[in-house]
């Protein structure tokens, strides 16, 4: 098994068919290899009906993503991963039937200024997920529960019921996530980062991992059959 490539059995039905809410394409710099259309085709082949594209500080792949999703019969969930002031990187998903402007503004702020203002999360048009790259996760992993609670309350005040905590791959974090979710009355979403790979892309991924060894979860991939 190559370094950075993790094989997973493809499970069909039940919880395994939950929407994929955190997926990176090659538009995420030094984060992933596949094109948006390749991600869509892989999701459709495995039976997923919904897929989010959440590239880091980028919406460049949305047109290709939406076009491919329509052709494949997969519902596209529009989103991005953006750094927000004081909160680290958050996953932002556009709510159904909402205009694209709030997402574009938040991502542009993060890309141009280094981070988006927290007020960009208000307005009830974006789902806000604190996942593995968020400041909340960092605090929990260091045992700083009080600070994590403060950050979660801040996001809850801004986004209300649209704020969710995201459960990633590290199962040791799940009890802490559940406890924090109860404390702030937030939902918990299954949200492991997806960085799919085709066998032909292994070399490119290995080069990426060498260039960005400290990238969050950069060595987590899924080798497609």
Domain residues for the domain of 41 are: 19-223
Better-predicted residue by pLDDT, 105 or 216: 105
pLDDT of residue 157: 96
Q: Is 57 a domain residue?
A: yes
Q: What pTM value is reported for the model? A: 0.82
User: Would you say residue 19 has pLDDT above 90?
Assistant: no
Better-predicted residue by pLDDT, 99 or 14: 99
Q: Is 14 a domain residue?
A: no
Q: Is 2 a domain residue?
A: no
Q: Is 165 a domain residue?
A: yes
pLDDT of residue 168: 84
Q: What is the enclosing helix (H) or strand (E) of 197?
A: strand 196-197
| Adjacent-strand bridge partners of 20 | 51
Q: Is 7 a domain residue?
A: no
pLDDT of residue 139: 98
Interstrand relation of 88-94 and 75-84 (parallel, antiparallel or unpaired)? antiparallel
Q: Is 4 a domain residue?
A: no
Least confident of 23-27, 64-68, 82-86, 126-130: 23-27
Q: Is 1 a domain residue?
A: no
- 138 in helix, strand or coil? helix
Better-predicted residue by pLDDT, 223 or 174: 174
- Rg (Cα) of the chain, in Å, rounded? 17
Which tokens hold the place of 111?
Answer: 């890309």
pLDDT of residue 17: 56
Better-predicted residue by pLDDT, 10 or 206: 206
Which of 20, 98, 25, 26 is CA-nearest to residue 52?
A: 20
| Adjacent-strand bridge partners of 194 | 23
pLDDT tens per residue across span 156-198: 999 999 999 999 888 899 999 999 999 999 999 988 777 666 6
pLDDT of residue 203: 61
pLDDT of residue 193: 78
Number of compact structural domains in the chain: 1
Which tokens hold the place of 102?
Answer: 């709030």
- 115 in helix, strand or coil? coil
pLDDT tens per residue across span 75-131: 999 999 999 999 999 999 999 889 999 999 999 999 999 999 999 999 899 999 999
- CATH number reported for the structural domain that contains residue 208 in this entry: 3.20.20.140
pLDDT tens per residue across span 117-162: 999 999 899 999 999 999 999 999 999 999 999 999 999 999 999 9
pLDDT of residue 192: 79
> How far is the C-alpha of 25 from the C-alpha of 31, rounded, in Å?
8
Q: Is 188 a domain residue?
A: yes
């Amino acid at each position: 098994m190559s370094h950075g490539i993790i094989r997973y059995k493809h499970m069909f039905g039940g919880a395994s068919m939950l929407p994929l809410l955190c997926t990176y394409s090659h538009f995420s710099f030094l984060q992933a290899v596949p094109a948006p259309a390749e991600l869509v085709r892989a999701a459709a082949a495995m039976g997923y009906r919904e897929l989010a594209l959440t590239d880091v500080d980028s919406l460049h792949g949305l047109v290709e993503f939406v076009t491919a999703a329509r052709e494949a019969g997969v519902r596209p969930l529009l989103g991005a991963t953006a750094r927000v002031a004081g909160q680290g990187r958050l996953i932002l998903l556009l709510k159904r039937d909402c205009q694209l402007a709030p997402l574009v503004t938040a991502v542009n702020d993060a890309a141009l200024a280094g981070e988006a203002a927290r007020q960009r999360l208000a307005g009830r048009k974006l789902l806000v997920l604190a996942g593995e790259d968020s400041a909340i996760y960092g605090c929990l992993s260091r045992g700083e529960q009080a600070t994590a609670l403060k950050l979660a309350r801040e996001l809850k005040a801004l986004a209300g019921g649209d704020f969710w905590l995201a459960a990633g791959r590290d199962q040791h974090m799940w009890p802490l996530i559940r406890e924090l979710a109860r404390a702030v009355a937030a939902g918990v979403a299954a949200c492991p980062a997806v960085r799919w790979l085709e066998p032909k892309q292994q070399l490119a991924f290995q080069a990426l991992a060498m260039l960005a060894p400290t990238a969050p979860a950069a060595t987590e991939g899924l080798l497609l059959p």
